[in-house]
Amino acid sequence: MTTIAANLKCMASDSRATLSEGLSYPTDKIKKVKKMLVGVCGHGGDCSRFLDWAARDFKEPAPKWHCKPDSDDSIVALVLKSDGVYVFVQTDPEPERVNAPYYAIGTGGQPARIAMKLGKTPAEAVDLAMEVDDLSGPPVQVLEL
């Protein structure tokens, strides 16, 4: 449903939001929130709740999620700060640091990670992932830290 990729300098995403009814539309999946970049995929309302929580520096209270943590629509997020890349899943209380200089999430996350392992930028990785992931679509969005 999404491809979001980040290295230590920037974050990139596709722009296609897909609804369960087979509808899709362009949307922003990455945002600059305070001094970090945040990208999130999953249930649209839960994505919005996550972005609001990120704007509060992940302080309590944590959002009340619409989707169950292990459901197909549960959210996964990337957070890029000056000290690294972090990943968030609903079953963890806060984002966890990734001990690598890049990471990617979403249905196109795996091909994007392979592309970055081969030296591609996050934008190039998302573009390549869209070639094999039907749930991700153009245009590619890019934000710099």
Which pLDDT does position 19 carry in this prediction? 76
Using DSSP's 3-state secondary structure scheme, residue 57 falls into: coil
CATH superfamily of 4-144: Aminohydrolase, N-terminal nucleophile (Ntn) domain (3.60.20.10)
Quick one: residue 42, left, alpha or beta (phi over 0 = left, psi -120 to 50 = alpha)? left
More confident residue, 59 or 115: 115
The predicted model gives 18-46 an average pLDDT of 87
Domain ranges, ordered by start, for the chain: 4-144
List, in order, residues 6 or more apart from 10 with CB less than 8 Å away.
Answer: 37, 80, 121, 122, 123, 142, 143, 144, 145
Indicate the pLDDT class of residue 132, thresholds 50, 70 and 90: very high
Residue type, 128: L
Distance CA(85)–CA(72), nearest Å, equals 23
Q: What is the pTM of this model?
A: 0.91
Using one digit for the tens of pLDDT, what is the confidence trace for 59-98?
888 888 888 877 777 889 999 999 999 999 888 777 899 9
